[in-house]
C-alpha cells in the first residue's frame, strides 16, 4: 500500500483544492496493486431505468459481474430475459449479450441483490417538484431499505449515488444509512457519488466511451473500488469531494442548455434580419473557445435531463441565496420557443390556423429514443389546439408513449381534433400543412409525391432536418426555423 493510501488526511486536503486526474503516464483503466487488493467486485445497480440499464450493460461489457434490481416486476422480468425495457440504439443487442454471457443477472428481491453486490450504484429517479427543486425521496427511501440490510451484513459495502441530485445528497444518503444500520461510515461502509453524462439516443455509446469519469469521494478505499469498477473504460478519471462532483453534472447540463437557448435567440433574430442562422452559428462554432456543439436552432430542449436539471440548479441556488439569471434565461427562452414554432406555422398559413389540419411529425423529445418526457411536441400541440387547429400525430417510435402522456397536457378530451396516425402517409395525406418537431431519418426519406399531398403545400421544419430546395422544386413552400427570407 502506498503512503497516500495509508493516510487519508493529506489526500483529503489535496482533493479539496480541485480535481485530481490520473497521471498521464498511467494507461487508461489500468489498476495498480493497491487498487486491486480487494479482488474482483460484483457491481450492483439499483434502479434499471435509462441510466441503470445503460451502466449495467457497460460494466458487463468490460468484464464485470453485475447484478441488477428494480422494484417494477415487469422490468426485472424483461431485463432478466435480455429484453430492453425501452428503445435506444444498440441497447437491445448489448443487453441480450450481457445476459447471454451471464455477466448481467437480475435479482428477484432486494435482499439477495444486497447480499451479492459489493458496490451498489443507486440509479433512482430524481424528478422535479412543483417549485423546480429536486425530489430525492426515492433515493432516501432506498437508502432506508438498504440500511436495514446493512445492519445485518458483515462485509464492507460501497454505495454510489449515480442519480443526478443536488450537492449534499451523497452526505444525506450516508447519514440515512448510518442511522438505519448503526454502522460507521468509512469503517463499515462508504458513500460516494459518480454523476452520469449519458445522452438518450446514444446511451450505450456514452456508457461504453465516457468523455470523463467523475468520482465524488474523499475515502481512499471507495476510490480504489470505483477505479476497479471502471477498469477498462476510456476517459480521464477526475476525483473530487462529493458536493463538487454533484455540482459538475448540473453545471454541465446548464451550460449546454444555455448554448441551445442562445442558438434559438439568434435564430429568431435571423428570421427578422432575413438571413439563415445555420451558417452564422457554424462560423461562431469555429471559435475553439466556443465549439460547434449544441449551437443549433430548433424547437427547444426537452428530455429527462436539461429542463429538470436547470430547474433543480436554479432552485438549489435560490436556497443558497445565489441568483442565476443566465440559467433562468435559458429556461425562459426554452418555454417560449414552442410558441415561436407555431407562430412560424401560423404566419406561413396566412395568419390563420383555425380549422386547418396540421400533421405534427415527431413526438419524441429527440430522434433515437422513444422517450417523450418534456418533449417540445406537447407544448406545440397545446398551442396548435389553442389556435383552433386539428392535429394529426405521428412518430416512428414513441406514438404510444406520447398518447399516455397526453392527458397531463389536455384538461378535456379533444375528440376528433387529435388523431394518432401509425404511418407518416396517413398523417400527411389530406392535411393542410406539416410541422416537423423531431429529426427522425425516416422523414428525410419521405418521397416528394407524398409531401405534395398537403393541401396548402406547406412544410414547417422546426429541426432543419429535410432538404428545402427539393421541396421547392416541386412547388412546395418550405419554412424553417432560423431561416429568414431576404
* Catalytic positions, written as ranges: 305
Instruction: List the one residue out of 169, 160, 159 whose CA is nearest residue 189.
Output: 159
| Structural contact between residues 37 and 21, judged by C-beta atoms closer than 8 angstroms | no
Q: Alpha helix locations (H) across 230-376?
A: 242-273, 277-285, 306-319, 325-348
The full DSSP string for 396-444 is SS-HHHHHHHGGGT-SS--GGGEEE-SSHHHHHTT-SEEEE-S--HHHH
| Structural contact between residues 156 and 143, judged by C-beta atoms closer than 8 angstroms | no
CA distance 52 to 164: 12
Strand segments (E) across 153-304: 157-161, 189-193, 212-216, 236-240
Q: Which residues pair with 483 in a beta bridge?
A: 276
Dihedral sign, CA of 117, 121, 122, 123? negative
CA distance 453 to 455: 6
Pairing of strands 357-361, 42-46: unpaired
Sheet holding 65-69, edge to edge: 20-21, 236-240, 212-216, 189-193, 157-161, 119-122, 42-46, 65-69, 104-106
Cell numbers standing for residue 464: 432543419
Q: What angle do CA 99, 105, 111 make, to 5 degrees?
A: 170
Cell numbers standing for residue 122: 443507486
The full DSSP string for 37-63 is TT---EEEEE--SHHHHHHHHHHHHTT
Instruction: List the one residue out of 400, 407, 418, 411 whose CA is nearest residue 357.
Output: 418
- Per the listing, cell 430524481 goes with 126
Could you give the C-alpha distances from 353 to 83, 395, 456, in angstroms and in order?
43, 22, 12
- Per the listing, cell 450516508 goes with 174
Amino acid at each position: 500500500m502506498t503512503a497516500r493510501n495509508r493516510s487519508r488526511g493529506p489526500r483529503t486536503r489535496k482533493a479539496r483544492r480541485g480535481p485530481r486526474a490520473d497521471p498521464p503516464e498511467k494507461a487508461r483503466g489500468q489498476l495498480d496493486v493497491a487498487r486491486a487488493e480487494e479482488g474482483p467486485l460484483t457491481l450492483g445497480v439499483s434502479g434499471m431505468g435509462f441510466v441503470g440499464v445503460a451502466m449495467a450493460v457497460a460494466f458487463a461489457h468490460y468484464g464485470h459481474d453485475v447484478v441488477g434490481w428494480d422494484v417494477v416486476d415487469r422490468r426485472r422480468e424483461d431485463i432478466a430475459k435480455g429484453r430492453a425495457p425501452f428503445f435506444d440504439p444498440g441497447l437491445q443487442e448489448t443487453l441480450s449479450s450481457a445476459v447471454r454471457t451471464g455477466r448481467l443477472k437480475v435479482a428477484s428481491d432486494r435482499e439477495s441483490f444486497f447480499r451479492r453486490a459489493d458496490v451498489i450504484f443507486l440509479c433512482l429517479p430524481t424528478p422535479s417538484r412543483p417549485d423546480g427543486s429536486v425530489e430525492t425521496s426515492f433515493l432516501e427511501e432506498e437508502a432506508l431499505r438498504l440500511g436495514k440490510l446493512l445492519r445485518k451484513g458483515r462485509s464492507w459495502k460501497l454505495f454510489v449515488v449515480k442519480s443526478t441530485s443536488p450537492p449534499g445528497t451523497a452526505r444525506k444518503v450516508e447519514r440515512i444509512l448510518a442511522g438505519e444500520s448503526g454502522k460507521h461510515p468509512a469503517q463499515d461502509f462508504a458513500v460516494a457519488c459518480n454523476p452520469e453524462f449519458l445522452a438518450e439516443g446514444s446511451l450505450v455509446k456514452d456508457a461504453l466511451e465516457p468523455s470523463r469519469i467523475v468520482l465524488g469521494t474523499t475515502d481512499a478505499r471507495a476510490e480504489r473500488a470505483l477505479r476497479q469498477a471502471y477498469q477498462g473504460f476510456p476517459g480521464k478519471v477526475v476525483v473530487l469531494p462529493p458536493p463538487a462532483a454533484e455540482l459538475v453534472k448540473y453545471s454541465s447540463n446548464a451550460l449546454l442548455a444555455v448554448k441551445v437557448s442562445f442558438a434559438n435567440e439568434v435564430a429568431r433574430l435571423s428570421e427578422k434580419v432575413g438571413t439563415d442562422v445555420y451558417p452564422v452559428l457554424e462560423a461562431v462554432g469555429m471559435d475553439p473557445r466556443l465549439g460547434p456543439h449544441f449551437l443549433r436552432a430548433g424547437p427547444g430542449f426537452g428530455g429527462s435531463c436539461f429542463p429538470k436539471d436547470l430547474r433543480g440548479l436554479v432552485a438549489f441556488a435560490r436556497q443558497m441565496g445565489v441568483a442565476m439569471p443566465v440559467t433562468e434565461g435559458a429556461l425562459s427562452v426554452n418555454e417560449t420557443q414552442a410558441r415561436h414554432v407555431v407562430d412560424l406555422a401560423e404566419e406561413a398559413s396566412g395568419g390563420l390556423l383555425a380549422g386547418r389540419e396540421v400533421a405534427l411529425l415527431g413526438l419524441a423529445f429527440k430522434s433515437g429514443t422513444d422517450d417523450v418526457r418534456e418533449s417540445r411536441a406537447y407544448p406545440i400541440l397545446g398551442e396548435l389546439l389553442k389556435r383552433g387547429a386539428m392535429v394529426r400525430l405521428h412518430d416512428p417510435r414513441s406514438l404510444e408513449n406520447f398518447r399516455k402522456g397526453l392527458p397531463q397536457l389536455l384538461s378535456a378530451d379533444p375528440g376528433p381534433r387529435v388523431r394518432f396516425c401509425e404511418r407518416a402517409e396517413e398523417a400527411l395525406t389530406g392535411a393542410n400543412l406539416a410541422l416537423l418537431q423531431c429529426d427522425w431519418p425516416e422523414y428525410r426519406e419521405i418521397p416528394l409525391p407524398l409531401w405534395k399531398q398537403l393541401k396548402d403545400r406547406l412544410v414547417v421544419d422546426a429541426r432543419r432536418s429535410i432538404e428545402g430546395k427539393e421541396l421547392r422544386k416541386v412547388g412546395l413552400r418550405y419554412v424553417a426555423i432560423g431561416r429568414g427570407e431576404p
